[in-house]
């Protein structure tokens, strides 16, 4: 099997799993927004937003560095994964403890569900990080379809327990039900981690190891990227914190519905680039020109995913919010709802899809420290801007901040990557992708009022399918998908056997 085909199959397996996961994630939003008040849902979301600040410190970019190091020499997989698991476990215990202590010390969260909720949900975050750690082995072997199965199984368990809590367990006792919704996440993540561990142990031994030379080497390589990730999370999540402190939990809930939709999409470029990273790293080590094709086709693929999502998100924002929440979250005269947040934030997601490529190019080049500088500047910009716009404009100001930040990171990471590596992008293809997406958007715009008469807000399900057909048809009509690309995917070369440790 060709390298391109292995990357594509690995990515598509993850995308398929993510599609199922996204539907389950939207089911969680639907259940929670119908069960809790807008303010209650804002508290529920704020618990996980708060933990994200600390969880990313435990992550520290170790997944990506682990994949990169294991790809260099697969015979060292048991040693590398054992030490990464040890590092992440220690970091996770420290950061989750710090999160619990900090949340109880914040006066603004007294009298809310947030403090105790963070204490309970910290277990979920711990399990998520451990699962991510061991799944790096599957990523290295380009077998992330197995990881997708584990994640979907865990999410099914979470959704099933949540549905039981809402409809049968505590339909009238929402005080207890609120915390039980969080407990449902713990059980789901436990199942996910157990299934991932089962698959990984078929490939390698997983045990705690304490080789401090490896720890030192990993820290040197991951710290700049890890700090960049922390800063990235800060500028993307700081909006919720500012909205929470300046505008209250109800507005957090309005903002969060749009964010939860988009969060289902933002992992897609990571799936793809984590599949590309081992191949890109090897190409750069061998000092051949294959990396140029890898970067060019990666940009085309990411743009081909992101642009139609942005266009569709703007056109279908009202229908999407109606489908996954309640009318309390929709705009009406004098009130800005989640549909407005979605229309703006899809632009941030568009830029985020593209800048991830250049982030990974810098990682492959061992220039992670440059990401640190870029993200530090953006965090400072976001905090300063949010201090002015959030008190005045609430979540609308925060969404604009997110768009500007992602745009600045895209520009910065592109020019820095270009400085260290010679490559070119096919902007003609990008223009064709934009044209195809706008043709799709026009079709959706014209069909939305017609389909609403018969299906109401469920029309979005039909419109998404129509949009996919129109968009793919336009890609072929404009010859965006070239014969060269198809030949590269179809080309068959022997696949290296999966070595056993």
| Structure confidence by residue, pLDDT tens digits, 53-66 | 788 777 777 777 77
| Amino acid 497: pLDDT | 29
The contacts of residue 347 (CB under 8 Å, 6+ apart) are 310, 403, 406
Three-state SS at 36:
coil
Mean pLDDT computed over every residue of the chain: 84
CA distance 91 to 55: 9
| Structure confidence by residue, pLDDT tens digits, 163-172 | 999 999 999 8
Minimum mean pLDDT among 27-31, 245-249, 340-344: which range?
Answer: 245-249
End-to-end CA gap in the chain: 22
| Amino acid 317: pLDDT | 93
| Amino acid 325: pLDDT | 87
What average pLDDT does the segment 427-448 reach? 95
CA distance 441 to 169: 43
Asked if pLDDT for residue 97 goes beyond 80, the answer is yes
| Amino acid 119: pLDDT | 94
Structure token pair of residue 357: 């490529």
Domain ranges in the chain? 10-284+322-423
The contacts of residue 415 (CB under 8 Å, 6+ apart) are none
What average pLDDT does the segment 30-40 reach? 91
Asked if pLDDT for residue 491 goes beyond 50, the answer is no
E strand or H helix at 136:
helix 114-140
| Structure confidence by residue, pLDDT tens digits, 197-228 | 999 888 888 888 888 887 887 777 777 766 76
What average pLDDT does the segment 287-295 reach? 85
Which has more pLDDT, 233 or 354? 354
What share of the chain has pLDDT > 70, as a percent? 90
User: E strands within 316-386?
Assistant: none
CA distance 50 to 108: 13
Asked if pLDDT for residue 472 goes beyond 70, the answer is yes
| Amino acid 108: pLDDT | 80
| Amino acid 486: pLDDT | 55
| Amino acid 393: pLDDT | 92
| Amino acid 498: pLDDT | 28
| Structure confidence by residue, pLDDT tens digits, 131-159 | 988 888 887 776 767 888 888 899 999 99
List the one residue out of 82, 196, 198, 65 whose CA is nearest residue 128: 196
């Amino acid at each position: 099997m060709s390298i391109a085909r292995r990357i594509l199959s690995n990515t598509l397996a993850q995308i398929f799993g993510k599609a199922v996961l996204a539907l389950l994630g939207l089911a969680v939003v639907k259940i929670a927004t119908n069960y809790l008040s807008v303010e209650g849902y804002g508290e529920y979301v704020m618990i996980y937003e708060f933990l994200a600040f600390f969880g990313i410190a435990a992550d520290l970019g170790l997944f990506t560095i682990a994949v990169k190091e294991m790809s260099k020499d697969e015979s060292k997989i048991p040693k590398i994964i054992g030490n990464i698991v040890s590092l992440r476990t220690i970091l996770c215990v420290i950061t989750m403890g710090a999160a619990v202590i900090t949340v109880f010390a914040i006066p603004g969260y007294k009298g809310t569900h947030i403090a105790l909720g963070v204490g309970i949900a910290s277990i979920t975050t711990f399990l998520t990080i451990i699962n991510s750690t061991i799944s790096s082995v599957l990523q290295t072997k380009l077998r992330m379809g197995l990881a997708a199965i584990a994640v979907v199984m865990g999410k099914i368990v979470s959704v099933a327990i949540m549905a039981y809590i809402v409809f049968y367990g505590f339909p009238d006792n929402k005080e207890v039900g609120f915390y039980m919704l969080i407990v449902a996440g713990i059980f789901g993540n436990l199942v996910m981690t157990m299934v991932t561990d089962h698959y990984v142990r078929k490939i390698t031994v997983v045990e705690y190891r304490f080789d401090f030379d490896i720890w030192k080497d990993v820290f040197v390589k991951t710290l700049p990227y890890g700090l960049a990730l922390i800063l990235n999370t800060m500028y993307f999540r700081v909006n919720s914190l500012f909205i929470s402190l300046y505008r209250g939990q109800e507005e957090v809930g309005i903002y969060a519905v749009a964010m939860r939709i988009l969060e289902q999409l933002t992992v897609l470029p990571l799936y793809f680039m984590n599949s590309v990273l081992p191949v890109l790293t090897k190409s750069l080590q061998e000092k051949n020109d294959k990396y140029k094709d890898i970067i060019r086709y990666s940009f085309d693929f990411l743009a081909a995913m992101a642009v139609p999502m942005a266009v569709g998100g703007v056109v279908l924002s009202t229908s999407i919010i109606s489908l996954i929440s309640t009318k309390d979250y929709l705009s009406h005269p004098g009130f800005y709802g989640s549909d407005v947040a979605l229309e703006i934030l899809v632009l941030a997601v568009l830029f985020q899809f593209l800048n991830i490529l250049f982030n990974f190019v810098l990682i492959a080049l061992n220039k992670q420290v440059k990401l640190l500088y870029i993200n530090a500047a953006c965090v400072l910009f976001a905090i300063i801007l949010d201090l002015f716009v959030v008190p005045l404009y609430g979540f609308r100001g925060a969404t604009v901040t997110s768009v500007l930040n992602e745009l600045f990171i895209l520009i910065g990471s592109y020019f820095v990557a270009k400085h260290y590596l010679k490559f070119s992008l096919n902007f003609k293809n990008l223009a064709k992708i934009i044209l195809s997406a706008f043709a799709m958007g026009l079709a959706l715009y014209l069909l939305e009022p017609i389909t609403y008469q018969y299906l109401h807000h469920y029309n979005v399900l039909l419109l998404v399918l129509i949009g996919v057909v129109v968009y793919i048809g336009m890609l072929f009509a404009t010859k965006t998908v070239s014969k060269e690309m198809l030949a590269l995917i179809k080309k068959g070369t022997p696949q290296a056997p999966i070595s056993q440790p």
